[in-house]
Amino acid sequence: MADETRSRTIAWKDPVESAKAGLTLSGLDYLRKMASGELPRPPIGILMDFSIVEVEKGKVTFAVQPAEFHYNPIGVVHGGLAATLCDSAMGCAVQTMLPAGTGYTTVDLSVTYLRPLTRETGLYAYTGYSEVTGSGSGGTEIQSFGIGLEHRLGREWSLYAQYLWFRSATPASSMALTNSIAAGAKLDALPWHWSWR
């Protein structure tokens, strides 16, 4: 067996500058500009080679072609690829519902894998959906869920789903929430609650 070394080179633009531009746009407009190329893709999308393929209010789809550089030590695509698309699509679906200057964050992620992805899988897309489910003094409560579709040889589709609750907040409140969690605060003691079903 010949050991052929593979290589891959990536390049990206400063993500902080893009994020600053995003503060002046609604979440929907920001993601549309990113999908169209008016704003650069974030480095994680370039590194893992996935991108937004559809954006509308309450719905965002990311897609990736699983490749050898996504592989883990047991010879299949690392589960983090599907988890990253799941988190990205559902989070961005929430973002499409938010006005300019409003932030959000993912606090917990739980993924159940139904089958492995490989370089032979074909295009893998994950769509996140969201809708406003209530509001209160803590912000707007938005429910988000996602569906992953695996296209295999043009015939077979498989379904993956997760459910998540977000509550939006201002950027300062989102940072305070993130810092509280990093400092060890219990989620049920915080003013916003996220939970998986």
Average pLDDT for 131-140: 60
Residue 111: its pLDDT value, please?
A: 76
Q: Spell out the domain ranges in the chain.
A: 15-174+182-189
Residue 146: its pLDDT value, please?
A: 63
Tell me which architecture the domain covering 15-174+182-189 has in CATH: Roll (3.10)
Q: In the numeric block, which tokens belong to residue 55?
A: 């954006």
Q: Residue type for 66, please?
A: P
What is the SS3 assignment for 67? coil
What is the SS3 assignment for 195? coil
List the Cα angle 39/104/195 in 5-degree steps: 135
Q: What is the pLDDT of residues 82-96, one digit of tens each?
A: 889 888 988 898 899
- Closest of 111, 95, 107 to residue 195, by C-alpha: 107
Query: Which residues in the chain belong to E strands, given as ranges?
Result: 50-56, 59-64, 124-136, 139-152, 156-167
Residue 194: its pLDDT value, please?
A: 32
Residue 133: its pLDDT value, please?
A: 66
Q: What is the pLDDT of residues 56-84, one digit of tens each?
A: 998 999 999 999 999 999 999 999 998 89
